[in-house]
Amino acid sequence: MRNRNQISTVLLSLLLGACTTFQAEVAETAVQVQPVVEAEVTVPTAKIEVISPHDSNPIISADYFDFSLPDNIIEKSPFVGSAHPELVEIVDRRKIILASKMAQTRESIVLQRRQAAALQALAELEKNNGAWYRLQKGMQLEPVLNDRVIAQLSWYLNNRGYLERVMLRASLVLPFILDELEKDNLPTELALLPIVESAYQTFAYSHGRASGMWQIIPSTGRFLGLKQNWWYDGRRDIIESTRAAIRYLKTLAGEFNGDWDLALASYNAGPGKIRRAILYNKKRKRQTDFWNLTKIRRETRNYVPKLYALKELFGHPKRYQLELLPISNEPILEVVELGQQIDLALAADLAGITINELYQYNPAFNRWATSPKGPHRLLLPRSKSAQFKLALKEIPVEKHINWVRHKIKPGETLSEISRKYRTTTALIKSVNKIRGTQIRAGKYLTIATATKSLKSYTLSQSARVSKIQNTRRSGTKQVHVVRRGQSLWSISQRYGVSTNALAKWNGIAPIDTLRVGQKLTVWINRQAVLVQTVATLTATGPNQGLQALRYTVRKGDSLYRIANKFNIRVTDIKRWNKIGKYLQPGQKIKLFVDITQQSG
């Protein structure tokens, strides 16, 4: 029995000699075995068994690790010799089998280790060359983690679905924003500002008329040189708006002596308001840094803490268990120069993408085509740009837009014709070399039109507004046509709804200017309709604007003639009265007219 135990101990020494220490206990006798070679165990274990020559039960059953056995370990072992011929016999019999199995296992483990190392290296390489890593390395603002920042950080951590959507949108724009910031060696934290402003939504539009990813209001856009017209809004242009916003932020930082906290607050509230808030603190001998300003709006008070919360979150994603969506350091989109106006449906077909996708890449275009006065370029996926360029060469320039000949009818005006074809009066005049506004019936006009149904241009401005207006809401839907002198406030008063609700139903801001003939959707409940009718019937004073009257139909009158006479709509007259097929002289009908629009 002792012989068998000794054999087991020696074999165990041979197999586990590379381990730091090993203790073997077998049957009746325990023998301490010192290792032949010391090595650290760093890899997974595998099972190895040595079978007794006398029976099928293993005499050694141990976990062994990935270590290297010298080829001459048997000869070198002090336990092997003439004193133990049975050991030599066992070793000789099992040496080849064990060596083969161990070699295979070692090769397998080495291969796994190499594969794991390669994958880890690749992941590390991608991370170190990704946009998020670049963002982290370029951060320059001193970290702030006060109560106000922690409150915003908690909100983001409790809304991880929001962060996922934000990162998905960032994949289109983040590399380009970082490029622009690095040109001027500016803090890369500023690339997170569009999250605060719009969550990287290029079609975002606020109640204050701010538009685009950087939420620029019209006046600031004009100040920054961004074009805003019927065809195109530079505030939504990914390239132009980013460059303009960065120029503005850089200017604001200069105004406040490099204080980025005050510059950021000014971007939100306007530099004038921040200067007044600073002056207020100065007069009271208080500190004038952003964190001590009190005369600012709540929105601005939270604005800067939001950016610092995002800096903390995206600067230390592991700390907050945030898995960053991989974003390549190379921009996904490429600028393709056109040289002239092009139908967006045609461009989408040539690039092999949908119109929807094209609008997402080029959100600045309001209509069915690029602007006739530029910019004459498109942003397209790099994988599609070569295909687009080749296909565009095959299309004659005059075919980039669909042209039709329109015969002018008696009484038609340029504005009516431009609305019919969804174009502008200026473009019709330019193409047809018309100087004034006079046109002659029977003559022909050449007009640029869309190649597809306007419903196909799903993200044009009119399509986006139409989608909002047709969203089902509670109450009864009515369509109001804007008349001269009307505002959102006066219309909301007429229907008994709030200005904010009316603006929301129509995808506009409460302070937007309305145009004559513009159609607005109004949702009112039955009680509000009754209140509106009673209020209108009793409104007789000039301050009220609308006045109820009863009109006696005269010979030769028609609904159109009456509506034109009082500057109201035929549909309104029908809605106010139960009118049969024909009007009869002497018939009395109810009218509600705006007395301020009846002069002349």
Query: Could you give the CA distance from residue 266 to residue 249 in angstroms, rounded to a whole number?
Result: 9
Q: Which of 89, 124, 197, 299 is catalytic?
A: 197
Residue reference for tokens 């099928």? 56
Query: Could you give the CA distance from residue 288 to residue 295 in angstroms, rounded to a whole number?
Result: 11
Tell me the chain's radius of gyration from C-alpha atoms. Answer: 39
Query: Which residues make Cβ contacts (< 8 Å) with residue 386, sequence separation at least 6?
Result: none
| Residue 161, Cβ density class (10 Å: 0-12 exposed, 13-18 middle, ≥19 buried) | exposed
Query: Could you give the CA distance from residue 328 to residue 271 in angstroms, rounded to a whole number?
Result: 36
Query: Could you give the CA distance from residue 452 to residue 16 in angstroms, rounded to a whole number?
Result: 78
Query: Could you give the CA distance from residue 492 to residue 501 in angstroms, rounded to a whole number?
Result: 9
SS (H, E, C) 52-109: CCCCCCEEEEEEECCCCCCCCHHHHCCCCCCCCHHHHHHHHHHHHHHHHHHHHHHHHH
Q: Give the H or E element holding residue 313.
A: helix 298-315
Q: Is 89 in the active site?
A: no
Whether 552 contacts 588, CB under 8 Å: yes
Whether 364 contacts 343, CB under 8 Å: no
> Long-range contacts: 570-576, Cβ < 8 Å, 24+?
none
Amino acid at 516: V
What are the residue numbers of the active site? 197
